[in-house]
Amino acid sequence: MIHLIVLTKYIYIYFERIVMKIIKVLEKTELVIVDLEVNLGKEKRNGLTLCVKYNGDYYPLNTAHDGRPILMNKDNIIKN
C-alpha cells in the first residue's frame, strides 16, 4: 500500500516495508568488468560493463554505452 502526503511544495511517498529473503546463493559465480563491443547498426562502440560470469556465460548488469542497469536474465547472455 502506498500513502501519498502533500505538504506545501514537497510530495512524500511512504511505502510499506517490503520483506525480501534470499532464496539461494548461486555457486561458481564471478563478478567481472569486461570491455564490451556493441554493434549499433553502422557504428560499433565499446565500453566497460559490469557482468556476472556464471556457468561460462556472461550476464551484463549495465549497458555498455550509457551505464544504465540491466536485470540479470537469460535473454541478455553474452557467450564468449
**What is the residue-wise DSSP string for 1-37?**
-EEEEEETTEEEEEEPPPP-----PPSSEEEEEEEEE
Q: Give the model's confidence band at 31: pLDDT under 50 very low, under 70 low, under 90 confident, else very high.
A: very high
Query: Quick one: pLDDT at residue 15?
Result: 61
Q: Give the model's confidence band at 11: pLDDT under 50 very low, under 70 low, under 90 confident, else very high.
A: low
Quote the pTM value.
0.61
- Residue 12: pLDDT above 60? no
Nearest-angstrom CA–CA distance, 3 and 28: 42
User: End-to-end distance of the chain based on CA atoms, in angstroms?
Assistant: 44
